[in-house]
């Protein structure tokens, strides 16, 4: 059984998707937020999951917050730490502590549009496709090895809200899949700095790369 710790800052919809997936061999050991008012904490409590708060406002510096956060995470013996809408930039020391077992989801097709306001920037750039990426976290923001991506078309009448909503649907598909692959031991970091999915059989007829299994 693999222990999963999920970090959130708000409603935690990706956290909910992972919990609801009921991934075999995975135990959601805790949901931790840096905000006491994060809506996702209530969901975690209702599911019988340990819900904890490490309020970043209580710490004078990022390093002190990250140290307290790591202490709380480690209390749950995590095999994997999942960032699910966790809106804090983490220090290099924190990222290195969980190297190879810290993943994030980003609402763009990385390396395009790292950082914030991805949907607005995609629309302003006039791209024809947009999407979402699950990646391992490295000290360089939004630049870690890609695990899986899902693509959505950008429609002529899209605005930020409509594009965001369509991307979010795909986030809820691919994040549980990435966690499942990790739990199954199928994610292999390559010497070239990429990710290989063991026994992957990728087709050419889908929008998700690699494809989400049924």
Q: Give residue-wise pLDDT tens across range 145-164.
A: 999 999 999 999 999 999 99
Catalytic residue among 106, 119, 130, 172: 106
Residue with tokens 């979010």: 168
- Whether 106 is a known active-site residue: answer yes
Same fold for the pair 1-98 and 106-134+148-214: yes
Cα separation of 10 and 23, whole Å? 23
- CATH architecture of residue range(s) 1-98: 3-Layer(aba) Sandwich (3.40)
Cα separation of 130 and 71, whole Å? 37
Segments making up each domain of the chain, as ranges: 1-98, 106-134+148-214
Q: CB-hemisphere CA count at 13 Å for 132?
A: 23
The answer to whether 83 and 137 have CB atoms below 8 angstroms apart is yes
CATH class of 106-134+148-214: alpha beta
pTM for the model = 0.93
Query: Model confidence over 14-58: pLDDT tens digits?
Result: 999 999 999 999 999 999 999 999 999 999 999 999 999 999 999
Token representation of residue 106: 């980003």
């Amino acid at each position: 059984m693999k222990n999963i710790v999920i970090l959130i800052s708000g409603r935690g919809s990706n956290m909910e998707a992972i919990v609801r997936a009921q991934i075999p061999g995975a135990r959601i050991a805790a949901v931790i937020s840096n905000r006491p008012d994060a809506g996702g904490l209530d969901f975690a409590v209702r599911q019988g999951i340990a819900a904890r708060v490490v309020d970043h406002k209580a710490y004078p510096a990022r390093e002190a917050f990250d140290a307290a956060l790591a202490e709380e995470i480690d209390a749950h013996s995590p095999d994997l730490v999942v960032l699910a809408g966790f809106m804090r930039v983490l220090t290099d020391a924190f990222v290195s502590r969980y190297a190879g077992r810290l993943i994030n989801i980003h609402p763009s097709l990385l390396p395009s549009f790292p950082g914030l306001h991805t949907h607005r920037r995609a629309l302003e750039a006039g791209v024809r496709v947009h999407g979402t990426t699950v990646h391992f976290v490295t000290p360089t923001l939004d630049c870690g090895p890609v695990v899986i991506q899902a693509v959505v078309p950008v429609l002529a009448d899209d605005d930020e809200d409509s594009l965001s909503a369509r991307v979010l649907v795909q986030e809820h598909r691919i994040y549980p899949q990435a966690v499942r692959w990790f739990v199954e031991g199928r994610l292999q970091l390559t010497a070239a700095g990429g990710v290989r999915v063991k026994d992957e059989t990728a087709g050419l007829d889908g929008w998700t790369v690699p494809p989400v299994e049924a």
